[in-house]
């Protein structure tokens, strides 16, 4: 979540799941993607 500001908008959906997948289980990665979607949009 702390890297969201540094990743350009177009590549957030490619980079953030990979990064969060290294630190969280599959449901955590899904939760991170949902939270990013809610915050940005």
Looking at residue 15, its pLDDT comes to: 77
* Distance in angstroms (rounded) separating the CA atoms of residues 22 and 10: 21
* Distance in angstroms (rounded) separating the CA atoms of residues 23 and 7: 18
Looking at residue 2, its pLDDT comes to: 60
Tokens found for residue 1? 């979540």
Tokens found for residue 4? 């969201």
Q: Per residue in 1-38, pLDDT tens?
A: 566 665 666 676 777 788 888 888 989 888 888 887 78
């Amino acid at each position: 979540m702390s890297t969201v500001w540094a990743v350009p908008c177009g590549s957030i959906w490619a980079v953030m799941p990979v990064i969060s997948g290294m630190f969280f289980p599959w449901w955590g990665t899904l939760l991170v993607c949902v939270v990013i979607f809610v915050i940005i949009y």
